[in-house]
Each structure stands twice: as structure tokens, then as C-alpha cells.
Amino acid sequence: MMLTYLRLYSPVLDRSSTPGSSAVASKTRCEYVPVRSAPPSMAPHGFGNHRGAASDFAGSRRLRFKRLGEGISLWLAVLLMLFVHPLYAEANEADNVGELHFVDGQGQWQEPALVLDSEFEIRVSGLIADSRLLRSFRNTSDQWREGVFVFPLPEKASVYGLTMKVGERTIEGKVQPKETARRTYEKAKQAGQHAANVEQQRPDLFTARVANIPPGETVSVELKYQQPVQYQAGVFELTVPTTLTPRYMPGAPVRSAPDQWQGGWALPTTEVPDASAISPFTVNPTDVATDSHRASIELVIDSGLPLESVSSPSHRLASRQDGQTFSVSPEGGEILMNRDFVVRWRPVAGLEPSAAVFHQSWQGEDYLMAMLVPGDNGSMVLPRDLVFVIDTSGSMAGESIRQARSALQAGLDTLTPRDRFNVIQFNSQTHSLFMQPEVATGNNLARARQYVDRLRADGGTEMASALSRALDSGVETEAGARVRQVIFITDGAVGNEAALFRQIRDQLGSQRLFTVAIGSAPNRHFMREAARWGRGTYTAIQSPSDVDGPLQALFSAMESPVLTDIRVNWPGQETGREAFPARPGDLFQGEPLIHVVRGVPAMGELKVSGRLPGGQDWNRTLDLQQAASATGLHRHWAREKIDSLEDEAKVAGREPNRAGITGLAVKHGLMSAYTSFVAVDSTPARSTETPMVSDNLPTLLPAGSQAGMLRYPQTATSAPLLIALGVVGLMFSLALVLLQRRAFA
Amino acid sequence: MTRLLLLLLTSSATLLVFGLWIPLKAVIAQELLEMAWAESQARQTELRPWPWADTWPVGRLAIPELNDSMIVLADTHGESLAFGPGRLTGGDNTGGAVIIAGHRDTHFRSLKALETGNEVRLQALDGRWQSYLVEGARVVDSRSELIDTQSLPEGTLLLVTCYPFDSVDTGGPLRYVVRASARGKQTEQIDTVAGI
């Protein structure tokens, strides 16, 4: 709908702006003269009264007053005319404006007609969370509608099912190659059949399309997806994203066909060709219907461990305990979809799992998933070169930049006089505090604190130059003696993720990149992958009160040595065995190693070895016979395999193995970059003559952030209203006064 | 009866005074701002026009065709729009587009008379005038459209005010947006004299 406005407005310029208003102005001038000449012609009235009561002195004085009063009221009448006239003019003008553009056939303002409702049902068992997401599109208009909604899912989600619900009927969706699915959907849409299509735009960003929603009715789309639960430093964490931060699209706009239908606010650019598909309009919660964009969340945690606490840094929780099973939902029922829902749970102290194995057999094949926590290996602190990179782009404005500043200040606190550091900020341009890393003396730290306090968020997100500056600024003279680390504090609101990953890989060298995600809805996919390519870790901060905990974990992880050169040996022969991740990255303090394999039965021992920072070897074995049975492992494995295929292509700089990924996704019933879900009802619901309108549903502005898109300010004063009211009131009272006088006289 | 009348009379008079005070304030404030602007140009610094002001002059906007000129203030928050049009973004070496918003009843009343091809000039703190040519104007609905500052090309000037111009509704959703584009950087002499 927004788009209709955008498009329709442009013609307004030429038609109603200048010519229209100048016509009004000239009219005003024409009528001004006759009105002004009115007083003389009305004067006889006054004289008439004068003649009738000229006998005594007091009377004549009163008369003079009266005459004065009448004169004043007449002039006021003139003034009033002047003020009232524009009101008429405005009324006429407003009609024109309405007729031209803003009003639909029924003379109604075109508000978005679809009301969106979401229900999450999440079940956590072991290390995998299985979710059912029901999105309902309720059509409140009296026209047929198509709903298009861009939404985020957890960054490691594997979508494996789509069901469309129309009234009592349910239609199962099928996995098809992306183009085929889209064609199927478009055909069904033209034919008037109920149809739904869900496509992946980014690994964590999806588009749902629902065609032929009857007037006054609801069509629901149910998505099934699973995600691995994050486990770090003895705390499990699960994130349910609800909205996305508008992303910055670097590059020059590609103005292809100007008439082409567009769903987003951003034009495709040279670096982000699909910009319009990942840039839904972002609006304030007050701009959608009062019951739209709400989500109910029901989370069941069945971790098989005695839990000490379940908490959320983002929302207040209402939780119920039943043995070892916790049922959690947000307090007060539905939540507004403007902030990611994050739940953390902590096993009873001392009972934190340090190893776990899960097993599933699917279609005659064995899948195993193992988790191993290396544990505390003592520490050996090396002097560091620490480069803080802070995002001060427009998308960080508001709460985000405050969080980022306090995160940076906390980072500065961890520096010792042996360390060297630098602070780099970037928006459209990159600017650094020092030319090169300086020793963390009190003086330098004080300068840095001042610099950080003055950071303001504004402008674009040109991340590439900041990354180069951070990764290249190292003086490689004392290689080995110092640990070089880059802390990257941002909301990751960019559209050119792939290019940035490539850059990190190319420029990294011996350094490590740690990412800290800021804001209510950061681009978690980018943050996690950037840290992975940068051989570091990723930390998310949910709210200002949440800065300390995660950051302390990060800084202690950064100080502690890592387990490197990790080798995972599954038992049995090599053939038919495929394990992911193929090359496990380095592990930091408190981080678990998670490995998934196909083709290994639950027998024998898993051997894991690595090297500690001092150079000693580290070995651990895991008995596979104790594996607990689980579901969804094959999907997790398939998703890992797809990711690794895409990684390989990125490293080699070529197109990913399209056929391989498609085949894998279809076999495991998964959504991927090349496959999507489509569901079509066989019987047509809408006759092809009845028109259908397409609605692009907006997403909500993440809580606490300021719109990168500016809102038009309020630019009217109450002066005309006050003046008009005052003049009318004065006129009225003077008229009353005169009447009274006349009655007495 | 007489008391009622008196009450009506005084309340209407008060309303009228308040109503007239707004344009009067706009005119007086501009006079004070002129002085502050001259001084801040001379000292090359941001200067508050009166001690308790929460804003300061950042530029001068001139429309030669309409023989109109006014001081532009930083930001549009609070009461600042009552004193002069406010600059939302841009200017001062930050690059990007410049967006200025003003009250339709006072300073930006003349915006409706701007026509395509007219010249609008903007003076920065360093005294340089930047000339813009009006590309066109359009009416937007602020409920459904936002200003995407990132997609506006460098050297764009947007002048925003409420629409329709003669409405008495202070909370209307429509805005009148004049778009102008820079016409090459021009350097001219500082034509204001320091008034310290």
C-alpha cells in the first residue's frame, strides 16, 4: 500500500502544487478589494443611530463609544472574512487532492488492510529447538488481497515445513526449486486459488507471500523450523527474532525498469542487487492496526537437566515448572514484534554438561551429534593489540549507540599498560582515534574515553573501509609477541554480507575478529558469520542492562587462550561418513565443540584432540553408546552441509554447487537459497474477474532505535486557529454588546 | 449577562493575542537570530541566540525570487521551529542531503510560491553561499512515507512544510516538499558584518 502512495504522489507535483495554489492566492486577492471597501457603504447605519439620540451630552458620548464599537466590529468582520476565506479555499483544495490520489473508490483512506498475527510454539529438547510458527493474515477490507511479508528467522534455522490453513482446510506445502515454486505460486494467484509461498532471501531473512485472501477472512501459513540452541559458558540461549533493522545498501542504485513493481524502500544497487527484497518498510507500532504485529510465544524447555533458572534479557517471563520441564511464555501474553525474544537457561551449578551425544536414524542412515566443552585450561595472558571498531551509522541511532558506547567503555576497562589499542569509528566515512595502536597509558585511555563519549550515530554503513583500516593497521614488526584482536561493535545492518565475509577472510592474517551485536534486532547472521570467518566469537547484547554479563564473558574469553588445531575422529571406516563442520574452528573459553556426522552408528568412541596455547596436547574421548535419541539431526546435518558447500564456493570465489544444494534440500525437505516452499489449493476461490490488491506488510521499527528513514516533522502552528477563534469570539461579543445597547436605547 | 459578555470578550481577546503572538514571535526571533548569525559567522562557532535557547543558527536560507531570507536553526526539536526553520540533517561537511523544515504559518508560508527553476540559496557558517535550483514540489502523506536520507543524492535540498497551506488543522498528515539540487559550488564574499 505504501508503494501506491509513493508512486501516486509523484504526479501530484505537476498538477496540484504550484498552479493550484497560485490560483487560490489570486482569488484571495480579487475578493480582498470589495470586502475592504465595505465599511463606507455600511456607515449610514451608524449615522442613523446618531441622529436618533443626539439630545444630551452623556448620550452623545455613549454614542461615540457605540460608533467606535461598530467601527471596530466592522473591521474585525473584515479581518474575519480574510481568515475564513482560506478555509473555504482549503476545503475545495482538499477535495481535489483527495480525488486525485489518496482516496480509494469508497472515499476511504487506504490503510494497510491486512492484520498480522504470529504464534510461536517452540520445543527445546537437547541441543535442538523445534518451532512451529503460525502467521495469520486477516483481511479487514472488502477486497481480495495478497499479503507479502518479509521476516527474519533465527540465523541457523532450517525451515522444513509449510502448511496453509484456509478456514477448516489445511494444504501441505511442497519443496520445489525456487523459480519453479515462484511460478507455481504466480499461476495459482492468477487463477484465483489460495496459495502460499515462502522464499529465503538471506540465511536468516525470508519472504512469505499469501495470495487470494478473501475479504473479511483469514489465511494462515504455518512454518516449521528447527535451530540449534546456543550453549556458552554454562548458559543455554535461544533467540526468536521478530523484526529486522533496516539495512544499509552500499553501491550505486541500479535504475532498471522504473515501472517495475517494488516491495521495499531500497532500490537495487550495484553491490546489493536484491536490495528491494530485503528492505520492507519499517514503521512505528502506532502505524499498524492496534492488534497487528503481535506474537504469542510458547516455549517448552525439556533439556533433560535440572535447571537453576530461566530468564530473559529482553522480556519479562511467566514460567511454569513441571519436573525438569519448563514452560515459558512472555508475561502478559502477546508481545509486540519490535524486539527479539531471547531466553536463557542455566543448569544447576556443578551439573553443567561438558559432553553430550545424540543419535537419530533417518531413512536407514545414522546421524550423530556430539557436544564437548573443553573446560578451563588455565590462562596465560599475552600482551595484546586491541582495535575497537564501532559502527556510528544512522541505523545505530537511539538506544543502540548508547549500548555500543558503554560496551566500548567496558572494553577499554580491560586494557592493561602492556596492551596497545586503537578506536575506529565508521559511518559513511572511517575515522580513527590514533594513526596506529598506542600503548594503553592513562593519558591515552582518557583521550579514548572522551572520544567515545562524543560518538554520535549518523550516515551510511560503509563497513568495508573500516574493516580494512582495522585489519591492516597492525605493525607486523613484533609478530608472535603480541596477540592482535579486533572487536567489532555494530548492528550489522548491511545488505552486502557476502562481500564483507570475503574481505575478512582475505585480510585477516594472524588476527582475530570478535563481533558484538547491538540493538533490538541485529543482523545476527552477519555477526555470527563475520566472527566465524574472523576466527573469533560472537556476542549479542540485548539491552542496556544486559551489557555486563555477555561482555565479561567475551573479554575473559579474549584473554584466555584458545584450543587450536582441533581434530575430531569418528570411529568406523571413512567411506560414507560425512562430518560437519569439516574443519572445526578454534575454541575459546566456555565454548563447546559441536559436531554432526552422517553414517556413523552409535558405537565405539569419538576421539577429539587439540593443542593448548602452551603447546601441550589436549585429548578427550566420548563413548558413543550412551547417545540419547533425538529428532531433527538429519536436518541439522543437511543445513551444515549446505552451509559448507556455500562456504567452499565463497572461498573458491565461484558460484555454489546449485544442483547439489537443491538435491540435498529437496531430499531433506529443507528451504535453502535455491529451494522454497509453495502450497496451492486446487479449487479456485476468487473468480478471475474480481480484482485483487497486493499489500506489502511493513515490519516494526526495532525498539529503541531511531528511524534511519526520517519522519516528516510537524510543521504547523495553532496561530491561524487561535486567531480565527479569537476574532470570531470578539465579533460575537461585540455584536452582543451592540444589540444590548440598541435594546436599551 | 454583562459578566458573561465580558468573559467572552476577554477570552476571545486572549486567544487573538496568543494567535498573533506566534507570527510576532517568529518575526522577532528572526531579528535576534540575525544578530546571533552575524556573530557566529564572525567567531566561526555555534552561538546560542539567547542564553536559554536550545538551538543555534546554522545557516541562512534565501529565496531571491520572493525577496525572502531567514536564519535556519539546528534541529527541529522542541520549540525551535517557532523561531525559525530547522535543519533536520546535512550541511557542515557531513555530506548527503540537506533537509530543512519550517512552519507553514510563519517562515515557510512562502514555499507555495516557489516554482520549478527558482533559485534557493543557502549560506553556511563559513559565509559561502550554495545555490540550489528548485526541481519540483510534491505533496506527501507523512503517515505512509518517510524521508529515506540514504537514497537522496549528494547536493539535494529538501524544504518541508505542512500542507494544505491554509488549513487550521495543526496535526494534519500531509506535507509539502520542495526538492532542489545544488548548482555547482560557488564562493562569494561574506556579506555580513560581525556584530560583536
Please spell the DSSP secondary structure of B58-101, one letter per residue: EEEEEEGGGTEEEEEEE---TTHHHHS-EEEE--TT--S-EEEE
The torsion angles phi and psi of B100, rounded to 5 degrees, stand at -125, 130
Is any Cβ of chain A less than 8 angstroms from the Cβ of B165?
yes
Domain ranges of chain B: 2-185
Report CB contact under 8 Å: B166, A460.
no
Residues 6+ apart with CB under 8 A from A528: A155, A156, A515, A538
A378 phi-psi bin (left φ>0, alpha ψ -120 to 50, beta other): left
Task: Please compute the mean of the pLDDT values over residues B157-171 and round it to a whole number.
Answer: 83
Query: What is the pLDDT at residue B194?
Result: 41
With a CB cutoff of 8 Å and minimum separation 6, the contacts of A543 are A313, A314, A403
> What is the model's pLDDT at position A82?
62
Strand order in the sheet with A578-580: A578-580, A593-598, A365-372, A355-362, A628-629
pLDDT at residue A461 is higher than 70: yes
Taking CB atoms and an 8 Å limit, are B22 and A89 in contact across chains?
Answer: no
Q: Which one is predicted more confidently, B76 or A354?
A: A354
Tell me how far apart the alpha carbons of residues A525 and A94 are, in angstroms, rounded to a whole number.
47
The interface pTM score, or ipTM, of the predicted complex is 0.81
Confidence of residue B91 (pLDDT cuts 50, 70, 90): low
Range in A97-111, A579-593, A711-725 with the lowest mean pLDDT = A97-111
The segment with the largest mean pLDDT, out of A16-20, A181-185, B6-10, is A181-185
| Contact residues, B window 6-45, toward A, CB-based 8 Å cutoff | 8-9, 11-20, 22-23
| Overall average pLDDT of the B68-78 stretch | 80
Would you call A723 and B141 a contact, using CB atoms and an 8 Å cutoff? no
Query: Could you give phi then psi for residue A536, rounded to 5 degrees?
Result: -130, -155
Which residue has better confidence, A636 or A286?
A636
pTM (two decimals): 0.66
Residues 6+ apart with CB under 8 A from A696: A1, A2, A3, A148, A149, A263, A264, A280, A281
The domain made up of A384-559 is a member of CATH 3.40.50.2300: no
In this predicted structure, what is the pLDDT of residue A22?
37
Do A396 and A706 form a contact (C-beta atoms < 8 A)?
A: no
Query: B165 and A737: CB-CB below 8 Å?
Result: no
Evaluate whether A696 touches A116 at the Cβ level (below 8 Å): no
Alpha carbon of A440: minimum distance to chain B alpha carbons (Å)? 31
| Closest residue to A730, CB basis, from B12, B138, B165 | B12
Q: List CB contacts of A61: < 8 A, sequence separation 6 or more.
A: none
Put simply, whether B167 touches A (Cβ < 8 Å) is yes
**What is the DSSP code (8-state) at residue B44?**
T
Residue bearing the bigger pLDDT, B6 or A81: B6
What single DSSP character describes residue A113?
-
What's the rounded Cα separation, in Å, for the pair A93 and A89? 6
Q: What is the pLDDT of residue A42?
A: 38
Interface residue A459 vs chain B (CB under 8 A): yes
B18-60 tens-digit pLDDT? 889 888 988 888 888 888 888 888 888 877 887 777 788 888 9
| Position with higher pLDDT, A544 vs A101 | A544
DSSP 8-state class, residue A109: B
- Tell me the torsion sign for CA atoms A56, A62, A66, A69: positive
The pLDDT assigned to A582 comes to 79
Residue B5 has what DSSP assignment? H
CA distances from A411 to A382, A544, A551, B158 (A): 17, 15, 8, 41
pLDDT at A162 over 90: yes
Q: Give the C-alpha separation, B6 to A244, whole Å.
A: 59
Residues of chain B found within 8 Å of residue A716, distances taken between Cβ atoms:
103-105, 162, 167, 169-172
- Identify the closest residue of chain A to B116 by CA–CA distance: A18
Q: How far apart are CA A132 and CA A295, in angstroms?
A: 13
B76 CB neighbours in chain A (<8 A) are 713
> From A253, which residue of chain B is nearest by alpha-carbon distance?
B151
Q: Which three cell numbers stand for residue B151?
A: 537514497
Window A:387-406, CB contacts with B under 8 Å = 394
In A544-658 the beta strands, taken as DSSP E runs, fall at: 564-569, 578-580, 593-598, 605-611, 617-623, 628-629
Q: Are residues B18 and A726, on separate chains, in Cβ contact within 8 Å? A: yes
Please state which CATH class domain A355-376+563-668 belongs to: mainly beta
Output A707 or A282, whichever has higher pLDDT: A282
Average pLDDT (A351-374) is: 86
| B13, B88, B106 member nearest A713 (Cβ) | B88
The long-range contacts involving A165-171, CB below 8 angstroms and separated by at least 24 positions, are: A165/A134, A165/A219, A165/A220, A165/A221, A165/A222, A166/A194, A166/A217, A166/A219, A166/A220, A166/A681, A166/A685, A167/A217, A169/A681, A171/A679, A171/A680, A171/A681
The confidence score (pLDDT) of residue A296 equals 92
When mean pLDDT is compared across A117-126, A206-215, B123-132, the lowest value belongs to B123-132
- The pLDDT confidence band at residue A348, using thresholds 50, 70 and 90, is confident
The predicted structure's pLDDT at residue A473: 62
Q: pLDDT for A363-397, tens place per residue?
A: 888 899 998 887 666 666 678 888 999 998 877 87
Contact status, residue A9 vs residue A101, Cβ threshold 8 Å = yes
Residue A334 phi/psi, 5-degree rounding, is -75, 145
- Which pairing describes strands A438-439 and A193-202: parallel, antiparallel, or unpaired? unpaired
Question: pLDDT (tens digit, 9 = 90+) per residue, A394-418?
Answer: 778 778 888 888 889 888 988 888 8
- Preferred mutation among A80, A395, A715 to probe B, highest tally of B CBs within 10 A: A715
CA–CA separation, A563 and A609 (whole Å):
9
Kindly report the average pLDDT of chain A as a whole number: 78
pLDDT at A18 (0 to 100)? 37
Question: Of A180-184, A556-560, A734-738, which gets the smallest average pLDDT?
Answer: A556-560
Structure-block grid coordinates of residue A506: 582475505
**Cβ-Cβ contacts under 8 Å, B147 against chain A:** 709-712
The pLDDT of residue B50 is 79
Q: Does residue B93 belong to the interface with chain A, where contact is any CB pair within 8 Å?
A: no
CB atoms within 10 A of CB A50: 14
- CB-CB neighbors (< 8 A) of A264 in chain B: none
Contact assignment for A458 to B115 by CB distance below 8 Å: no
Q: Can you give the pLDDT at residue B136?
A: 86
Q: How confident is the model at residue A47 (pLDDT cuts 50, 70, 90)?
A: very low
Mean pLDDT of the A310-322 span: 88
Return the axis-axis angle of helices A18-36 and A57-97, rounded to nearest 10°: 160
Closest chain A residue to B158 measured between Cα atoms? A712
Mean pLDDT to the nearest integer, A274-298: 79
Give the count of Cβ contacts less than 8 A between chain A and B. Answer: 204
Query: Which residue in B110, B168, B176 has the most chain A C-beta atoms within 10 A of its own C-beta, making it the best mutation to test that interface?
Result: B168
B2-185: CATH topology is Sortase; Chain: A; (2.40.260)
- How close B50 gets to chain A, by Cα (Å)? 22
Nearest by Cα to B34 from B69, B5, B3: B69
Which residue, among B74, B59, B63, has the nearest Cα to B124 in the 3D structure? B59
Give the per-residue pLDDT at A100. Answer: 27
| Nearest of A533, A510, A637, A509 to residue A585 by alpha carbon | A533
The 8-class DSSP code of residue A409 comes to H
Please indicate if any CB of chain B lies within 8 Å of the CB of A249.
yes
* Contact status of A719 with chain B (Cβ, < 8 Å): yes
pLDDT of residue B182: 85
* Distance between CA atoms of residues A530 and A79, nearest Å: 68
**Probe site for chain B from A10, A22, A99, A712 (most B CB atoms < 10 A):** A712
Q: Reply yes or no on whether the pLDDT at A180 is more than 90.
A: yes
pLDDT given for residue A398 in this prediction = 76
Q: Answer whether A182's CB lies under 8 Å from A675's CB.
A: no
Percent above pLDDT 90 for chain A: 19
Q: Return the domain boundaries, chain A.
A: 2-108, 355-376+563-668, 384-559
CA distances from A247 to A243, A257, A396, B94 (A): 12, 23, 11, 20
Determine the distance in angstroms separating the CA of B119 from the nearest CA of chain A, rounded to an integer: 15
Cβ–Cβ below 8 Å for A17 and B176: yes
Residue A221: pLDDT band with limits 50, 70, 90? very high
As a whole number, mean pLDDT of residues B140-151 equals 68
Cβ–Cβ below 8 Å for A102 and B141: yes
- pLDDT of residue A76 exceeding 50, the answer is yes
Q: State the pLDDT at residue A707.
A: 52
Pick from A110-119, A144-153, A375-384 the range whose average pLDDT is largest. Answer: A144-153
Q: Is the peptide bond before A280 cis (omega within 30 degrees of 0)?
A: no
Give me the amino acid identity at A494.
V
Task: Report how far residue A389's alpha carbon sits from residue A450's, in angstroms, rounded to the nearest whole number.
Answer: 16
Decide if A733 and B116 are in contact by the 8 Å CB cutoff: no
Contact A251, A177 (CB under 8 A): no
A717–B contact, CB cutoff 8 A: yes
Distance in angstroms (rounded) separating the CA atoms of residues A735 and A715:
35
**pLDDT band, very low/low/confident/very high, at A330 (cuts 50, 70, 90):** very high
Band (pLDDT 50/70/90 cuts) for residue A41 is very low
Residues A672, B182: Cα–Cα separation, whole Å:
46
Nearest Cα residue to B152 out of B180, B175, B124: B180
Q: Which of A33-37, A603-607, B41-45, B154-158 has the lowest mean pLDDT?
A: A33-37
In this predicted structure, the answer to whether residue A181 has a pLDDT above a threshold of 90 is yes
Q: Which of A106-120, A478-492, A629-643, B69-83 has the highest mean pLDDT?
A: A629-643
Q: What is the pLDDT of residue A160?
A: 92
Peptide bond into A581 cis (omega under 30): yes
Considering only CB atoms, B18 lies closest to which of A265, A458, A722, namely A722
